Structure 1
Amino acid sequence: MKVLKFGGSSVASSENIKKVLAIVEQASKNQKIAVVVSAFGKTTNALIEGANLASNKNEGYKEVLKKLEEHHFGVIKDLIPVQNQSAIISYVKQLFNHLETIYEGCFLLQELTPKTLAKISSFGELLSSYIIAKAANLSFETDYKDSRELLVASDNYLGAIVDFSTTNQNLQNYFNGDNKQVILLPGFVARTPEGKTTTLGRGGSDYTAAIIAAAVNADELQIWTDVSGMFTANPSVVKQAFPIPHISYQEAMELSHFGAKVIYPPTIQPVLKKEIPILIKNTFKPEEEGTLIAKETSNKKPVKGISHIENITLITLEGSGMVGIPGFSKRLFEALSFHNINIILITQASSELSICIGISDEDAAKAKDVIDETFEFEIHQQKVNPTVLEQDLCIIALVGDNMKNHQGLSGQMFSALGKNNVNIRAIAQGSTEKNISAVINKSDAKKALNTLHEQFFEEKTKQLNLFVTGVGNVGERFLAQLEQQKKFLKKNLKLNVRVIGLSNSRKMVFDESGIDLKNWKEALENGEPTSLEAFFNKTKDLNQRNSVFVDNTANQAVSEVYESYLRQSIGVVTCNKIACASLLDNYKTLKAVSRKYNAPFLFETNVGAGLPIIDTLKNLINSGDQVHKIQAVLSGSLNFVFNNFNENSTFHDVVEQAQKEGYTEPDPKIDLSGVDVARKILILARESGYDLELEDIAKNAFLPEESLNTTNNDDFYASLTKNEAHFQSIFKEANDKNCRLKYVAEFVDGKANVGLQHIPSDHPFYNLEGSDNIVLFFTDRYPENPLLIKGAGAGADVTASGIFADIIRIGNI
């Protein structure tokens, strides 16, 4: 024999009930089955709502009753042919008339006792089971039995304690004497020895099914619900969560206690001793495997699931007067128990200086009053501090029978959380090591659950969540490269890189499941108005794990928000040089904040676009080398300009071509004035360990004053045309010496300069073509023959690839 229980969502509508009946008919073909049903979805809550309204003299209970009646009669009309409806409607109407009378009593007396509330609550199951049994009889033979005739329990009406001796005998006698293949019963309800209706409390229908299964030694207890088993984590929070095929009783109880809503822990108790397996199945996807709960499982993975409880308050009792004094814990727990305050988590340091307990938020105020009253004398004597409450917390728990046999699991757990700046307020772990619990901020719950699921269940695939601002030349190429390489990254590098947020100067768009990079332009155009503050706040509020802010702009205002992101443990990747070339104090602050909050701050593309210049320099410094001298051509745009400028071209046309091909900043004067190169050599000097400001760098300008003083691109280009003779004379002077013009940056023994130089044919810079960059590092290890890095140093594609490389670096951390 098997026992099948169907929850409220499974019987919420006539369509759902048809699915239930199909499952029952199939299951009953080869064996006898008992079917336990809950009230129609949300009916019990509505019944209680009506009771509270009535007892508060609010006639709104009549509307609640009307809606309940309409729903139940609607189900009857959908399931039962017209010719069979009369008797069923008549019986159901009697029940509703009885319910109405009870509500009227509550209304007149303005009173709602536990006994009355239990009576009212019982109507949901009594109605649903009767209607479903009558519908079932149309297709297959079904006996209907009121559970109150079999289950005997105490008069603790809202959470009755079952008299198993009487109940088990009743159940065995009944099922042994009933030959019907299907017997249908209401869950949740029982009777007192005096025959009064009582209820089994939260999860009561599951409990009813388990009691029956244990009494009749069933082969299996099946719990049919709206999910396909117990998941590795809450699938509505962790999209990658998946059903656990096999799990032990102990693991199931731990997960159920910590928020897995599929079953309620007491459900397992009656079947646990008899080792009756429990199968969790999906009413709406009956073909799926579900989860089998049994004594032992074949799956030896150390961690079976991750769960959490929200709305937790942490209460700390602390004081030097507690140390070495017996009885403090006893007094604390007795006081809370006397006031029916449930303790969810306990932790105490070996110093005995403090005890922390986790309780439900709704009990917090009462618990504080109780504890302060209990220890009033010690608090007055200043031996114990007044209790401290911390709210807006939650508990996350790692669960698994085999965790005790694997070293380092707690280390992995706390390391993964720490890397994502999830602050842990308290920790609890029993000696059985089946559960490691941590108290964290409620706002971090989603990030923590996804982080731990990634750590323990996702084959080491790391998810990076990008928030990208700037979709011009560089930004557009970056998104295209990411879309092209997305599958490669996932398959070969185990990186799942998603763009969650995207903005330009006008609009922003967010999608927690990842923006479709094939249609990002359309999505952004249909986005909402943006600002730097709005984009930051949205990014912060989403609180995604492994978050990275990507700046593809050359905007100073954008560079000024980096610190805000880093302080939220959101990494920053940027091709924008302004931040790292800003005041030294700001540069050092960004570096320090990055370290403090474990948020990567990468800016490889600040110098040399996609060339590994900064990364190479960091490796030199980190390995103990010392930089003495740097010589470099760091402007791809200036190198392009002077490689293409000659007596047969105009300076204006070459600069314009450089801008059109994406080699210059949007404002080409930034490149040609030397400011851009000065910023780059400043960044290299700072990364080498030297404290320099931008104003310390000598700049040998080649542009006329008139060009430097322009305020827009049109005036700037006009000045270049006007001063063509000046530029031709510069070219001629170099050409007459058989030299080439290169804009060179130098750093020597703590001092830096930038300027146009004549480069002879035997110099490494002479044959630098196109928009290439070149850097020579003279160090302790490379004193005579410098370390040389050379390659394309400008252009949207190579800059985008440099940003991409920084993203991958973060993924590999």
Structure 2
Amino acid sequence: MSLVIAKFGGTSVANYSAMVNCAKIVLNNPKTRLVVVSASSGVTNLLVELIRPSITDEDRVLRLTQIAAIQYEIIDRLPRSEVLIAQIDLLLSRVTHLSESLVLNRSKQLIDELLSIGEQCSSLLFSYVLRQQGLVAEKFDVRDVMRTDSHFGKAEPQLTDIFERSNELLRPLLEETVIVTQGFIGANHDGITTTLGRGGSDYSAALLAEALNAETVEIWTDVAGIYTTDPRLAPNARAINEISFNEAAEMATFGAKVLHPSTILPAVRKGIQVFVGSSKAPDDGGTWIRNQIDHSPTYRAIAIRKDQTLLNLHSFDMLHTHGFLADVFAILARHKISVDLITTSEVNVSLTLDKTGSDSSGQQLLSSTLIEELERHCDVKVETNLCLVALIGNKIPSTTGICSRVFEVLADFNVRMSSFGASEHNLCFLVSDHDAAHVVDALHRNLFES
């Protein structure tokens, strides 16, 4: 069976009308047998607000009311079903109970369960919308197959278990019905709910595609594909018809919001093509991500990632000695800190860190404990309010004149750090939040529009 997996993001399932648009996309492709959904737009943010330790009882009631209103806007447009209403009300009651429990118990386990309820609601509602549109559809609890470790907030999928359970429990259902399931969430081996980190719905869809050997993963969002950069920063940004896995992985990693950074990995492992399109305008086309493409330009896109942290480590112990970097990275690994870019001199190391995919609990990226451990080895300086800008393309280090052309454009801006040569597909630099939008616009005008 040729299988297409369609993933619909939060804006695509934001309300009843949006869900109907998505249902038509599913109806139009008989190969679409598995649908993965995010929480309806705004719900996860409201759930995150319920986690805040400082939330008042009045604010809690307001957020709970807002969450319920989003669900009932959809229910009220469907044929009345006491079963559906009872199921949604049970989930909403669970939100209330968990949010109250978090006042006394700040357990990451409880937080993950609370955050999972947005996807549980949207998948249930979308299965009813599909039925209303004439499809045989059922909700499936992804936690039965999406096995993870117990790192609540950013759980690591257990691939062997996912493959085995997907083929045992999920594949037989796809022969008979369209299955609607949840992105973003999973369960550990004890069946306790976990989450994959913000934006993990794309990753969920790709993992299921890999496990089920799907032909295509469709990522339906609110834009018609992947653009050369954010159109809000460069008005002449244009849609890209197709890009390679390598280029897409770079774009996702360095901030392209259309894709979650981990999405491409399962697709690359199985050679599964990925399509990115707009659920609001599915006939407008989109971007295909494939292993083999016809055209590989030097400049493909510009990605930007905000809210970056620069960690500067200075120590004369680095001079003509060994083991310093090993000690530093061992400390960062213990605290589950992922390093993006790194530059070194004889006595100084600079590292960029990013909050993408960090714990949903909002825990501070660099804890005081981590800083204290690092300070036993070196002087530590932390800089914030920075943006990472990445020029994505092909054979960048081996193409004459790229650096001179790029840094000529950047002559009027302060570049805090740069990274070049480690990858064939990117040139990265760190600039201030204040300059970032101007930098992207200037680069796009000079490299893509001239």
CA–CA separation in structure 1 for the residues paired with 2:263 and 2:369: 29
Aligned to 1:216: 212
One-letter identity of the residue aligned with 2:406: M
Aligned to 1:62: 61
Candidates 400, 414, 417, aligned match of 2:407: 414
Deviation larger for 332-341 or 253-262: 332-341
Give the structure 1 partner of residue 145 of structure 2: 150
Alignment equivalent of 1:14, drawn from 7, 13, 16:
16
Secondary structure class of the residue paired with 1:236? coil
Do the aligned partners of residues 164 and 287 (structure 1) sit closer, same or farther apart at CA in structure 2, a change above 3 Å counting? same
| Corresponding residue number in structure 2 for 1:177 | 172
Q: Is the 8 A contact 2:7 2:205 kept in 1?
A: yes
CA deviations over 1:497-528 (Å, ceiling 9, x no partner) = xxxxxxxxxxxxxxxxxxxxxxxxxxxxxxxx
Tell which has more relative contact order, 1 or 2 (C-alpha 8 A, sep 6+). 2
Report if aligned partners of 2:397, 2:421 keep a CA contact under 8 Å in 1: no
Does 1:433 pair with 2:433?
A: no
SS of 1:5's equivalent? strand
Per-residue deviation, residues 441-492 of structure 1 (Å, max 9, x unmatched) = 221111111111112211x1xxxxxxxxxxxxxxxxxxxxxxxxxxxxxxxx
| Rg (Cα) greater in structure | 1
* 1:266 Cα offset (Å): 1.3
Matched to 1:35, the amino acid is V
Residues 72 and 219 from structure 1, CA distance in 2 versus in 1: closer, same or farther, beyond 3 angstroms?
same
Contact 1:364/1:389 (8 A) holds in 2: no
Residue 367 of structure 1 deviates from its aligned partner by 8.8
The separation in 2 between residues aligned to 1:315 and 1:97, in whole angstroms, is 43
Give ranges in structure 1 of 5+ residues lacking alignment: 377-385, 461-813
Q: Which amino acid aligns with 2:49?
A: E
Q: How does 1:722-801 map to 2 (within 5 A)?
A: none
Instruction: Tell me whether 1:330 sits opposite 2:301 in the alignment.
Output: no
CA contact (8 A) 2:127 2:180 kept: yes
CA distance in 2, matches of 1:140, 1:256: 33
After superposition, residues 134-145 of structure 1 pair within 5 angstroms as 134-138=128-132, 139-145=134-140
Shift, 1:282, TM fit:
0.7
Distance 2:111 2:191 in 1: 16
CA-to-aligned-CA distance 1:390-421 (integer Å, 9 cap, x gap): 44322211112332442211221111211xx1
CA distance in 2, matches of 1:196, 1:365: 27
- 3-state SS, counterpart of residue 255 of structure 2: coil
Deviation readout 1:146-178 (Å, 9 max, x if unpaired)? 112222222222222222222212212334422
Counterpart mapping for 1:551-700 below 5 A = none
CA shift digits 1:616-636 (9 cap, x unpaired):
xxxxxxxxxxxxxxxxxxxxx
Given that 2:335 and 2:370 are in contact with CA atoms closer than 8 Å, whether structure 1 keeps it comes out as no
Could you tell me which residue of structure 2 aligns to residue 444 of structure 1? 435
Aligned residues: 438
1:260 alignment partner, one of 245, 256, 259:
256
Following the alignment from structure 1 to structure 2, what is the Cα–Cα distance between the partners of residues 320 and 164? 43
Taking a change above 3 Å as real, the CA distance of residues 364 and 183 of structure 1, as seen in their structure-2 partners, is: closer
Please give the alpha-carbon distance, in whole angstroms, between the structure 2 residues aligned to 1:122 and 1:393. Answer: 31
Contact 1:368–1:387, Cα closer than 8 Å, also in 2: no
Which runs of 5 or more structure 2 residues have no equivalent in the other structure? 356-363
Query: Counterpart in 2 of 1:339?
Result: 335
Deviations 1:293-317 (A, max 9, x none): 1112212211211112223333333
Classify 1:407/1:371 alpha carbon distance in 2 versus 1 (closer, same or farther; 3 Å): farther
Distance 1:365 1:150 in 2: 34
Amino acid at match of 2:126: I
| Alignment of structure 1 residues 418-497 onto 2, 5 Å | 418=411, 421-458=412-449, 460=450
Deviation at 1:59, TM superposition (A): 4.7
Partner of 1:34: 34
Matching residue of 2:348: 354
Counterpart CA distance in 1 for 2:432 and 2:235 is 21
Give the Å deviation of 1:217.
1.0
Alignment partners' CA distance in 1, 2:315 and 2:145? 53
Is the 2:49–2:55 Cα contact (8 Å) retained in structure 1?
no
User: How far apart are the structure 1 equivalents of 2:214 and 2:247?
Assistant: 22
Select the residue among 200, 205, 215 that pairs with 1:204: 200
Name the structure 1 match of 2:121.
127
State the one-letter code of the partner of 1:124.
Answer: G
Q: Go from structure 1 to structure 2 and tell me whether the alpha carbon gap of 1:438 and 1:366 turns closer, same or farther (over 3 Å shift).
A: farther
Equivalent of 1:401 in 391, 394, 415: 394
Counterpart-to-counterpart distance in 1, 2:374 and 2:156: 33
Superposed displacement of residue 278, structure 1:
0.6
Q: Which AA in structure 2 matches 1:399? A: I
Please give the alpha-carbon distance, in whole angstroms, between the structure 2 residues aligned to 1:222 and 1:32.
9
Residue aligning to 1:504:
none
- 1:292, CA displacement in angstroms? 0.9
Cα separation, partners in 2 of 1:32 and 1:228, compared to 1, 3 Å: closer
Using the TM superposition, give the Cα deviation of residue 57 of structure 1 relative to its aligned residue in structure 2, in angstroms: 6.5
Deviation at 1:363, TM superposition (A): 4.0
Structure 1 position 261, deviation (Å): 0.7
CA-based RMSD: 2.2
TM-aligned CA distance change 1:184 to 1:320, over 3 Å: closer
Is the Cα–Cα contact under 8 Å of residues 37 and 129 in structure 1 kept in the other structure?
yes
Secondary structure (helix, strand or coil) at the match of 1:11 reads coil
Partner of 2:359: none
User: CA–CA distance in 1 between the matches of 2:374 and 2:113?
Assistant: 38
Q: Percent identity, aligned pairs only?
A: 28
Task: Work out whether residues 371 and 387 of structure 1, in 8 Å CA contact, stay in contact via their aligned partners in 2.
Answer: no
Cα separation, 1, equivalents of 2:124 and 2:416: 50
The secondary structure found in structure 2 opposite 1:402 is coil
Equivalent in the alignment of 2:75 = 76
Letter in 2 for 1:25: L
Deviation at 1:270, TM superposition (A): 1.6
Q: CA deviation at 1:222?
A: 0.4
CA offsets, 1:58-82, max 9 Å, x none?
Answer: 453222112211221121112x12x
Look up the equivalent residue of 2:223 and give its one-letter code: V
TM-score (norm 2): 0.91
User: SS at 1:438's partner residue?
Assistant: strand
1:2 aligns with 2:4: yes
Aligned residue in 2 for 1:278: 274
Deviations 1:637-674 (A, max 9, x none): xxxxxxxxxxxxxxxxxxxxxxxxxxxxxxxxxxxxxx
* C-alpha spacing 1:19/1:254, structure 2 compared with 1 (3 Å): same
Shift of 1:330: 1.8
Q: CA deviation at 1:87?
A: 2.2
Task: State the secondary structure of the residue aligned to 2:208.
Answer: helix
The residue aligned with 2:265 is 269
- How far, CA to CA, are the matches of 1:68 and 1:22 in structure 2? 26
1:203, distance to aligned residue in structure 2 (A): 2.1
What are the Cα deviations for residues 247-277 of structure 1, in whole angstroms up to 9, with x where unaligned? 1222112111211111112122222111101
Contact 1:52 1:112 survives alignment (8 Å): no
